[in-house]
Structure 1
Amino acid sequence: MSVATAERWERRVHLGAHPLLYPTIRSLGAVKPVMRIPGLGVLVSEARLVRDVLLDGERFVKNGPSASGGLWTPVVGPKALVNMDGAEHRELRRKLADLFTPASVAEIVQPASVALKARVEHDLDGPGRVDLVDCVKELAGGVISRLLGVPEHTPGRLPNKELFDLGSSISSLVRLGRPTLTPEQAAKGRAAVEVLAGPARSAYRDGDPATFPGRLRGLGMSEDEAMGIISAFVMVGTETLVSFVPRLVALLADTGRIEELVADRSGMGAAVNESLRFTVPSPMMLRNAVAPGNIGGTVVRSGDRILLSTIHAAKSLGGFNPGEPIPAQARQLWFGAGPHFCIGMPLAMAEITATLEVLLDRFAQRPWVIASRVVSTRVLIPGYRKLELANAL
């Protein structure tokens, strides 16, 4: 295997999801860093300019009518963090910060990572193959259950994979060419949120500070506000995680980096960050301009929809190379920047690290290889539909 092989597979992943849009966005970004696209908005494709927009929370907001936050308000209510701006948003982030410390996220992820390890060992020791995509969906579902405040063996609790599928059904309502949700789509999203929120409401009412909903109640949030925040975390984080982790593992396996990390894990952080940079699990971010001005010399009018092409901004910096430092203008750009930098980043990184540790531990005991893979087609977030690992002969 080689870097060229890894990069060919990544291109297949992107083209499978967006066979026309991906090459169009990449080609437009190569022509001009900022471009007005009739009917869609202003496309920004250079990392420095993308970061500038994200840092300017006064002129470019997330809760506008065609920005990503505004899309979710009919589904999760007006106070779900992802659709807030200004002083109210800053205050809520401050209150939530203690819920995403290293100790807090480790507590959330640990039971799911134990289950992941058991699944990987069972499937590789028995049938000899394990579908990593399916495993990561179960991991994400396990984390969702912890966020909902639902213990593993609660009667009537949805299985982990069904919890993931429910969250995914909400996030899949979004499309780049769809500035707002239709009433039918919003109703579908609210129905899914209510299924998720049912057990979380019980945990909120119990007020147990050991649960995530109980902690939100302790912070003084109303029940509806707490449900909106929990639903937003479920929607925004799970699908990108399930997209990224199998792609991370494929990149590291295709380039021979798995063997290097088994021998020396000090390079894990650089390998994960470069994989995030190269795969860009959040390929596009949306903002609304609320004041006239310009971006990179292009005139922007109040009300313009701003399309931030993180996919071009990050990938245009070069091929996959964990040994090369990521330029400052692109560092962690896939998690955003400024007031809306992803508050759940520590949780996502804990899930990523836990999965990679399980696979490295297994490889050290008995090496595995990628036996088969299938790219997902016509999906919002590019990824693999299946990535099977098998014991090496």
Structure 2
Amino acid sequence: MMTGDWERRLYVTAHPLAYPLLRAAARRGPIVRVPGVGVVVNDASLARGILTDGETFRKDGPGSPGELWTPVLGPSVLLNMEGEAHRVLRRRLADLFVPSYTEALCARVLEEPLARLTGRLRDGAAVDLVDAVRVLAGAVIGEVIGLETRTEPAYRDLFEQGERIVAMVSLRTRRLSPAQVRRARAVLDPLGDIAAKAYAAGDESTVMGRMRTLGLAEDEARGAAGAFFLTGTETVATLLPRLIALLADHGQLARVAADGALLDRAVDEAMRVTTPTPVMLRSVHRPVAVGVVEVRPGDRVLIATHNCCRALGPFDLDRPHPPELRRLWFGAGPHFCLGYPLAMAQIRLVARTLLAAGPLTITRRAAARGVLIPTYRELAVRVGRGMA
């Protein structure tokens, strides 16, 4: 297989029916009404306009993320809120993940596992980056929610629990069934108890303790911990192997390893191509024209973030992103991802460590099935020469 085909293979393997339909929608224009799906937006400028208009396009109506996640996470977790209540909670959380705190947290939590990873690579072992970054992402989210058992098996188990919940969702899912809600709550309720214990301890060096200091009630802190658990781990864990693969497939690994200043540009470009949030949902609250389409209250708007991002073209480390596209995969406006600094701190630290270990070569890889965010099932690398 040509190396440039791997990203498409990941998407098709994860969503064999929905992905071709999503890409077909892109060919029908910037915005199109699709029966049974909703109003599909394929243009970055239109998408940004919708995301920044929280009065018209909401996350708490029919067909929105609120309808999907409120039964699982409760009513107050930012991703299902709008209006003054959302603004108040967002202000309280504004200082939770400042870069200085997230960088220190990741450096502390990941120091030992990254040292072990570096040692394995420098000893000549082939390392499966998919498994490795799951452990790393589990370690960070375990620290966020206050997990007491801090071993690699515990981190793998934590990641797999979140993966099982997220895998219940497809690109076309409107709501979870009662059975799915029960399965999700069976995972999240015990984690909420762990988070509540850390919250009650009030240690300001911990994320849960910081939430208490910032004025969150216990139920708000529990809900926030659940939301971070569901949305944060897979973004990081799926992106890092795909970042390394994209750099390798386009002959850019050595260049980024030699010039650390290129890393943020490489991460942004990899996120544009991989699009960790392939679609975003909104519910229309009042009538308005979006491009050539009139939307009405109750309409479901599906922002095809992947189509918006891929319209710029294939992976290209030297092509700047236009303003309307800038980090669109993390959202825009009042719902721009609160955990962005934490995700970036993890990605930068792990990517720098991998690039510094030596010239990496991909030795084998395979695409994952049955996942929401397309990813590799396995991506093995070693230092030195090998087969891609």
TM-score range, shorter chain: over 0.9
CA shift for structure 1 position 170: 2.2
Residue 11 (structure 1) shift = 1.1
Q: Give, in angstroms, the shift of residue 221 of structure 1.
A: 2.0
Aligned to 1:79: 76
Establish whether residue 203 from structure 1 lines up as the match of residue 195 from structure 2: no
Match for residue 164 of structure 1?
159
Percent of aligned positions with the same letter in both sequences? 43
Q: Which moves more between the two structures, 52-61 or 260-269?
A: 260-269
How far apart, in 2, do the equivalents of 1:342 and 1:53 lie? 15
Q: Is the Cα–Cα contact under 8 Å of residues 168 and 239 in structure 1 kept in the other structure?
A: yes
Rounded to whole Å, the distance in 2 between the matches of 1:93 and 1:7 is 40
CA contact (8 A) 1:65 1:71 kept: no
| CA distances 1:202-225 after superposition (whole Å, capped 9, x unpaired) | 111111112111121222222221
Asked if 1:135 corresponds to 2:132, the answer is yes
Amino acid of the structure 1 residue aligned with 2:382: A
1:298 to 293, 297, 318: 293
In the alignment, the residues of structure 1 paired with residue 119 and residue 13 of structure 2 have an alpha-carbon distance, to the nearest angstrom, of 31
Q: How many equivalent residue pairs?
A: 385
Q: Does 1:318 align with 2:309?
A: no
Distance 1:162 1:344 in 2: 22
Deviations 1:19-59 (A, max 9, x none): 22212211221222111111111111111111111111001
1:130-187 C-alpha deviation (Å, 9 max, x unpaired): 1101111011100111111235659xx9711111112222222222322111111111
Deviates more, 1:336-345 or 1:210-219: 210-219
CA-CA distance at 1:96 after TM superposition: 0.9
C-alpha spacing 1:18/1:104, structure 2 compared with 1 (3 Å): same
Q: What does residue range 66-145 of structure 1 map to in structure 2 within 5 Å?
A: 66-126=63-123, 128-145=125-142
8 Å contact from structure 1 (residues 119, 135) kept in 2? no
Q: Does residue 215 of structure 1 match 2:210?
A: yes
For 1:373, the equivalent position in structure 2 comes to 365
C-alpha separation between the residues in 1 aligned to 2:274 and 2:173?
Answer: 24
Q: Residue 388 of structure 1: which of 360, 377, 380 is its match?
A: 380
Conserved 8 A contact 1:282-1:335: yes
Separation (CA, whole Å) in 1 of partners of 2:41 and 2:154 = 40
Once residues 342 and 69 of structure 2 are traced to their aligned partners in structure 1, the CA distance between those partners, rounded to angstroms, is 21
1: distance between equivalents of 2:3 and 2:44?
Answer: 23
- 1:18 aligns with 15
Q: Please give the root-mean-square deviation of Cα atoms over the aligned residues, in Å.
A: 1.8
Structure 1 residue 177 corresponds to structure 2 residue 169: no
The residue that corresponds to 2:41 in the other structure is 44
After TM superposition, the score normalised by the length of structure 2 is 0.95
> Equivalent residue of 2:95, what SS?
helix
Change in Cα spacing, 1:255 to 1:112, as seen in structure 2 (3 Å) is farther
What's the TM-score, normalizing by structure 1? 0.94
**Residue of structure 1 in register with 2:237 after alignment:** 242
Using the TM superposition, give the Cα deviation of residue 386 of structure 1 relative to its aligned residue in structure 2, in angstroms: 0.6
Structure 1, gaps ≥5 residues long: none
Runs of 4+ with deviation above 4 angstroms? 151-154
Q: How does 1:244-283 map to 2 (within 5 A)?
A: 244-283=239-278
Question: Which residue, 349, 352, 358 being the options, matches 1:357?
Answer: 352
Amino acid at match of 1:299: E
How far is the alpha carbon of 1:291 from its aligned partner? 1.0
Letter in 1 for 2:82: D
Q: CA deviation at 1:286?
A: 0.5
Structure 1 distance, partners of 2:185, 2:325, is: 35
| Structure 2: gaps (5+ residues) | none
